[in-house]
Structure 1
């Protein structure tokens, strides 16, 4: 699957503009670094790739602030179990997004983002509520082995 980065950046800029915020050059470049990566990255890996790809240094604290912005604007997700970041797979979609579920390969570290239907999340929330537990957020991360690794393609 090829990623049309220009189209995704255009959609990202439009989404930011409609939210009344700006996708600055540095924010855009961090997003591009994530879009170019086949695996999720740490903030420090983003700093390294930013320097290689753009021949420009960016302090890690700036990357964290930029990532916070990109997460808030739903352009990037943080994988909580690994403290890694990945561009949202649905930036250029015109439909309403579902709750993200991430399928993380424990061998090659690739990530597949899929949406969980609202009724499934509602049922899960009811079950959780019945235990008296308060859910902080609804992102799901499941670990396993992807098809490529199962078939020995890697």
Structure 2
């Protein structure tokens, strides 16, 4: 796994290539998500920035930063939990499938996996056949991670 500094540097280059800028506050919020193995709320990110960098960022600013990071495809929002995770593929330069999220319902660890676009296309067709229109193909699966499963045994 790459260091946080290497991931942040790659994110900076990504933003620069898209004509935007990864400011210090944006770096701080992204760092919190990169360092965490679970999804974080805006308020948890406020606490992280205060504890880690001694900087208090207002909630509205954190929400704006999260929207920016989402638009840049550096973070993902977990809709069911209303929390955010860093994209597992920030440093990749190749195409990926549609991201899906495995969420441990015990320790709340989150892992990002990819599902082939053809699988999502099949799902989309099934949704349309049922008389609905797919808004987002993101799936958040309730799971138990190996660590929690082993601890329960």
What TM-score comes out, normalization by structure 2 length? 0.95
Tell me by how many angstroms 1:97 deviates.
2.2
Deviation at 1:29, TM superposition (A): 1.0
In the alignment, structure 1 residue 62 sits paired with structure 2 residue 61:
yes
Query: Which structure 1 residue ranges, 4+ long, deviate > 2 Å from structure 2?
Result: none
Counterpart in the other structure of 1:130: 129
Secondary structure of the residue that 1:74 maps to in structure 2? coil
Structure 2: gaps (5+ residues): none
Show the 5 A alignment for 1:112-131. Answer: 112-131=111-130
**What's the secondary structure of 1:86's corresponding residue?**
strand
Aligned residues: 152
TM-score by length of 1: 0.95
Q: What SS is found at the alignment partner of 2:21?
A: coil
RMSD of aligned residue pairs (Cα, Å): 1.2
**Structure 1 residue 131 displacement after superposition:** 1.6
- 1: CA distance between counterparts of 2:18 and 2:129? 36
Distance between the aligned counterparts of 1:60 and 1:113, measured in 2? 26
CA positional deviation for 1:3: 4.3
